C-alpha cells in the first residue's frame, strides 16, 4: 500500500529535487544549502500542517531542518508490513514493536548521553527501564507520559463511558454509579427525545471497526473495577493476569447491551460502520452515549464544538457493575512505552536527527511549539503566568489556523514536556488551571458548576498509585509467537460473537451463542500461551523496574 506524500519544505525544494538531496533511504541528509532534510512517517491521516506552517518554517530558517511527511492512508499494520517486506524506511518513523523485531530501528540509548544531547538525556534517563524494549534498549522515544513538576492536565482523554451533557442536564446532573443507572438514563432520555434535529436519536453507539475493536471488547474490565490492562484483568494482590473475554464480567456486560438493543436503543449500524462513519454519527449530535477513549473520537467532538453544539458534546461517567466496586478508569500517568518516533537504520545521519529532537526539548522550543508566540498566540501577566485572550482562544480552535500554526500530528508523536516548566507555567494551556477553565465555553462553566468541578479530571475517580508492573497492555507479543496468534484468535472470536450476542432475539439464543463462544475460546485458542507471556513479563517488570 502506498501512502500519500505531503512535502512541507522551503522554497528550495525544486533545487533539492534536482540535486537529489531530499532525505530518503540511502541518500545524504544534508544538501549543499546546509539544510538537513529527513523523511517522516506518521501513522495517522489527520491534522496535516499547511505548506506555510510557521513552526515548520522556523525549524527550517532557525535550525536548518526540513521534513518530508508521509501520512497513513489505509491500514497501519499493512503499511508497516510493506515497509518491512521492502526494507524501505523513512528516517523518522512512527515506532512499533514490529519495526524493532524487524531490525529496522536503531538503539537510541547507545547515542543519547548527557554531554551531546542533554535535553534528551534529562527526558529519557529517569524512565529508561520503562521505555526500553525486552532487550534493554530504547528504540522509540515515548511521545507521552514523561511529566515535569506536579501539575496535572485539565483535560481527560482516556477511557470512560461518555454521555451527552444535555442528557445529564435534563436528568438534573446525576452521578452515574452503575451500568444499570447509565442504561436507564439512556432509555428515559430517548423515550422523551426520540429525534434530534429531525434525525432519530441513537441511544448507545459501539465501535467495532478493525484496529479499534477494543472499544467494543474492553468495557467489561472497567465495569469490574480494573484499570487499563488491555485484554487481561490482573489480580491486585498476586499480580496474576487472566483474560476476561470468557468471564462473567463480559457475559454480564454483553447481556445488558443486548437488553438495550432489544429496546431499539443500540445503533443498528454499529457493527458494520467504519471509523469515519462512527465519527460522523457522533458529530451529528444524536448519539446519547458511548464507551471509548476520548482521544479516539475527539475530532467528532471538535466538530460539535465548532458548530456551537456544546450541549451535544460529552462528559465522562465511570460506572461499575455495582456500588461495591471502586472505579479505576483514570490512572496515574504512565510512560507511553513503544509509542512515539524511532529512527530507522536507513537514516544516514541519526546524530543530526537526535540533535534536532534534543533542541526542541528545550523549554524555549517547547513553549513555542505548545503555546505559540508570546504576544501573538498568548500573553504573560504581571506574575509571569501565561494566558490567552478570548480572541486568541477562539482563533486557536479553528482547524485552518491550527494547520498554519500548529504541528498537531507531528507533535503528537514527538517527545514532549508535560506538566510544568521551571518558571511555574503549565507546559501547554491544558496544564494551566486558570487558562483551562477560562478557555471553557459558558455552557461548560455552568455544567462544571453543577458538578462542583474545575477540570474534566474532576469527573473521574481519585488517582491511585499504579501497580508496579502497570500497564499490561504495553507488553509486547512477538510477531509469529503462540501468544500473538492466541491474541489475534481471541480478538477474531470477540468480533464475530459479540455482535451476534447483542443482536440475539431471546435470552435462550444469547445463552446458546455465549456457550458456543466460550467453547471456541477454550478449545480453539491457546489462552495459556497468551497468559504465560503476559505473566512472564509482569514478573520481569516487578523484578527489574524501579
Instruction: Tell me which residue of 525, 527, 531 sits closest to 489, measured CA to CA.
Output: 525
Task: Note every long-range contact of 14-23, with CB atoms under 8 Å and residues 24 or more positions apart, other chains counting.
Answer: 22/68, 23/67, 23/68, 23/90, 23/91
Report pLDDT digits (tens) over 183-201: 999 999 999 999 999 999 9
Same domain, 187 and 39: no
Same domain, 319 and 301: yes
Phi, psi (deg, nearest 5) at residue 200: -65, 130
Angle, CA of 39, 42 and 46, to the nearest 5°: 130
Same domain, 362 and 272: no
Q: Is the Cβ–Cβ distance between 97 and 134 less than 8 Å?
A: no
Report pLDDT digits (tens) over 211-231: 899 999 999 999 999 999 999
Same domain, 300 and 447: yes
Q: Is the Cβ–Cβ distance between 222 and 327 less than 8 Å?
A: yes
Residue ranges making up the domain that contains 358: 4-150+335-430
Counting Cα atoms < 13 Å in the Cβ hemisphere of 93 gives: 27
For residue 247, what is the DSSP state?
S
Same domain, 277 and 199: yes
Same domain, 314 and 360: no
Same domain, 518 and 376: no
Q: Where are the alpha helices (DSSP H) in 34-117?
A: 54-58, 76-86, 97-101
Same domain, 137 and 163: no
Cα–Cα distances (Å) from 215 to 222, 297, 298, in that order, read 12, 11, 14
Cα–Cα distances (Å) from 259 to 215, 293, 501, in that order, read 19, 24, 10
> Which residues are bridge partners to 147 per DSSP?
418
Does any domain span residue 467?
Answer: no
Q: First and final CA of the chain: distance in angstroms?
A: 42
What is d(CA 518, CA 516) in angstroms, rounded to the nearest whole number?
6
Instruction: Tell me which residue of 83, 86, 85 sits closest to 94, measured CA to CA.
Output: 83
Tell me whether the omega of the peptide bond preceding residue 471 falls within 30 degrees of 0, making it cis: yes
pLDDT at residue 31, as a whole number: 64
Does any domain span residue 31?
Answer: yes
What is d(CA 415, CA 180) in angstroms, rounded to the nearest whole number?
41
CATH classification at residue 123: 3.40.190.10
Does any domain span residue 466?
Answer: no
Q: Is the Cβ–Cβ distance between 414 and 140 less than 8 Å?
A: no
Does any domain span residue 108?
Answer: yes
The sign one gets for the Cα dihedral 457, 459, 460, 462 is: positive
Q: How far is CA 307 from the centre of its chain?
A: 24
Q: Where are the alpha helices (DSSP H) in 416-506?
A: 433-438, 442-451, 482-502
Same domain, 366 and 502: no
What is d(CA 127, CA 337) in angstroms, rounded to the nearest whole number?
10
Pairing label, strands 202-205, 386-387: unpaired
Does any domain span residue 465?
Answer: no
The structural domain count of the chain equals 3
Residue 228 three-state SS: coil
Instruction: Tell me which residue of 415, 273, 278, 281 sits closest to 343, measured CA to CA.
Output: 415
**Consecutive H or E run containing 147:** strand 147-148
Q: Is the overall model pTM greater than 0.75, yes or no?
A: yes
Report pLDDT digits (tens) over 272-330: 999 999 999 999 999 999 999 999 999 899 899 989 999 999 999 999 999 999 999 99
Q: Locate cell 523485531: which residue?
A: 101
Same domain, 320 and 218: yes
Q: Which positions of the chain have pLDDT values less than 50?
A: 1-27
Residue 90 three-state SS: coil
Residue 376 neighbours by CB under 8 Å, 6+ apart: none
Same domain, 410 and 508: no
Using CB atoms within 10 Å of the CB of residue 216, give its burial: 0 to 12 exposed, 13 to 18 middle, 19+ buried. Answer: buried
Same domain, 283 and 314: yes
Q: Where are the alpha helices (DSSP H) in 344-384?
A: 350-360, 363-370
Cα–Cα distances (Å) from 147 to 87, 335, 339, in that order, read 35, 9, 16
Instruction: Tell me which residue of 52, 61, 54, 42 sits closest to 3, measured CA to CA.
Output: 42
Q: Is the Cβ–Cβ distance between 289 and 182 less than 8 Å?
A: yes
**Consecutive H or E run containing 303:** helix 298-306
Amino acid at each position: 500500500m502506498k501512502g500519500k506524500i505531503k512535502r512541507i519544505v522551503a522554497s528550495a525544494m525544486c533545487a533539492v529535487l534536482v540535486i537529489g538531496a531530499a532525505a530518503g533511504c540511502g541518500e545524504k541528509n544534508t544538501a549543499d544549502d546546509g539544510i538537513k532534510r529527513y523523511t517522516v512517517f506518521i501513522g495517522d491521516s489527520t491534522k496535516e500542517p499547511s505548506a506555510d506552517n510557521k513552526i515548520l518554517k522556523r525549524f527550517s530558517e532557525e535550525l536548518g531542518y526540513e521534513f518530508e511527511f508521509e501520512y497513513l492512508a489505509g491500514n497501519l499494520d499493512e503499511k508497516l508490513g510493506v515497509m518491512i517486506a521492502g526494507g524501505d524506511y523513512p528516517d523518522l518513523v512512527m515506532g512499533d514493536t514490529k519495526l524493532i523485531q524487524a531490525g529496522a530501528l536503531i538503539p537510541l540509548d547507545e547515542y543519547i548521553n548527557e554531554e551531546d544531547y542533554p535535553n534528551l538525556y534529562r527526558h529519557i534517563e529517569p524512565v529508561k527501564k520503562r521505555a526500553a524494549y525486552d532487550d534493554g534498549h530504547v528504540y522509540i522515544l515515548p511521545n507521552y507520559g514523561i511529566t515535569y513538576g506536579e501539575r496535572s492536565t485539565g483535560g481527560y482523554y482516556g477511557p470512560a463511558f461518555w454521555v451527552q451533557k444535555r442528557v445529564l442536564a435534563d436528568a438534573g446532573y446525576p452521578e452515574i454509579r452503575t451500568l444499570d443507572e447509565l442504561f436507564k438514563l439512556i432509555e428515559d432520555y430517548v423515550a422523551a427525545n426520540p429525534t434530534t434535529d429531525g434525525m432519530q436519536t441513537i441511544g448507545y453507539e459501539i465501535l467495532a471497526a478493525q484496529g479499534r475493536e477494543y472499544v467494543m471488547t474492553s468495557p467489561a474490565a472497567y465495569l469490574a473495577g480494573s484499570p487499563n490492562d488491555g485484554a487481561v484483568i490482573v489480580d491486585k494482590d498476586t499480580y496474576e493476569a487472566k483474560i476476561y473475554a470468557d468471564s462473567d464480567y463480559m457475559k454480564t456486560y454483553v447481556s445488558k447491551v443486548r437488553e438495550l438493543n432489544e429496546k431499539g436503543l443500540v445503533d443498528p449500524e454499529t457493527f458494520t460502520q467504519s471509523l469515519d462513519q462512527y465519527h460522523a454519527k457522533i458529530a451529528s449530535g444524536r448519539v446519547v452515549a458511548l464507551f471509548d477513549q476520548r482521544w479516539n473520537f475527539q475530532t467528532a467532538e471538535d466538530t460539535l464544538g465548532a458548530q456551537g453544539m456544546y450541549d451535544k458534546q460529552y462528559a465522562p461517567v465511570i460506572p461499575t457493575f455495582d456500588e461495591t466496586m471502586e472505579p479505576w478508569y483514570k490512572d496515574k500517568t504512565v510512560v507511553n512505552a513503544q509509542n512515539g518516533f524511532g529512527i530507522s537504520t536507513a537514516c544516514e545521519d541519526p546524530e543530526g536527527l537526535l540533535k534536532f529532537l534534543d533542541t526542541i526539548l528545550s523549554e524555549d522550543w517547547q513553549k513555542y511549539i505548545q503555546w505559540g508566540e508570546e504576544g501573538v498566540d498568548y500573553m504573560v501577566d504581571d506574575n509571569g503566568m501565561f494566558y490567552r485572550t478570548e480572541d486568541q482562544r477562539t482563533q486557536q480552535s479553528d482547524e485552518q489556523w491550527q494547520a498554519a500554526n500548529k504541528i498537531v500530528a507531528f507533535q503528537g508523536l514527538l517527545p514532549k514536556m508535560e506538566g510544568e516548566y521551571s518558571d511555574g507555567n503549565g507546559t501547554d494551556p491544558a496544564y494551566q488551571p486558570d487558562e483551562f477553565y477560562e478557555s471553557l465555553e459558558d455552557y461548560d462553566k455552568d455544567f462544571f458548576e453543577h458538578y462542583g468541578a474545575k477540570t474534566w479530571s474532576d469527573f473521574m475517580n481519585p488517582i491511585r498509585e499504579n501497580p508496579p508492573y502497570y500497564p499490561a497492555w504495553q507488553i509486547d507479543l512477538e510477531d509469529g509467537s503462540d501468544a500473538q496468534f492466541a491474541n489475534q484468535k481471541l480478538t477474531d472470536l470477540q468480533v464475530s460473537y459479540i455482535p451476534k450476542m447483542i443482536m440475539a432475539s431471546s435470552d435462550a439464543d444469547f445463552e446458546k451463542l455465549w456457550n458456543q463462544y466460550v467453547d471456541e475460546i477454550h478449545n480453539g485458542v491457546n489462552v495459556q500461551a497468551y497468559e504465560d507471556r503476559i505473566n512472564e513479563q509482569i514478573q520481569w517488570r516487578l523484578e527489574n523496574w524501579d
